[in-house]
């Protein structure tokens, strides 16, 4: 493990992120999981799907 990570962990322990920042991160993760789930179910519209360009 890189020693820089220990410095980051110590900084986080001394000054943890705010509640608003934690909610923001979990909100973004929830939106991404919803989009992934909608795509897996098959409800994602065809116009929003990416197509590969042919060489």
pLDDT of residue 35: 93
pLDDT of residue 51: 82
pLDDT of residue 40: 92
Q: Is the pTM of this model over 0.85?
A: no
DSSP state of 42: T
DSSP state of 17: P
User: In the chain, where are the structural domains located?
Assistant: 18-46
pLDDT tens across 46-55, in order? 888 888 777 7
pLDDT tens across 35-44, in order? 999 999 989 8
Q: How many CB atoms lie within 10 A of CB 44?
A: 14
pLDDT tens across 3-44, in order? 999 999 999 999 999 999 999 999 999 999 999 999 999 898
């Amino acid at each position: 493990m890189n020693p820089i990570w220990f410095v980051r962990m110590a900084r986080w322990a001394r000054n943890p992120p705010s509640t608003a920042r934690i909610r923001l991160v979990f909100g973004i993760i929830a939106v991404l999981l919803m989009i992934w789930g909608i795509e897996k179910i098959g409800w994602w519209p065809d116009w929003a799907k990416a197509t590969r360009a042919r060489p």
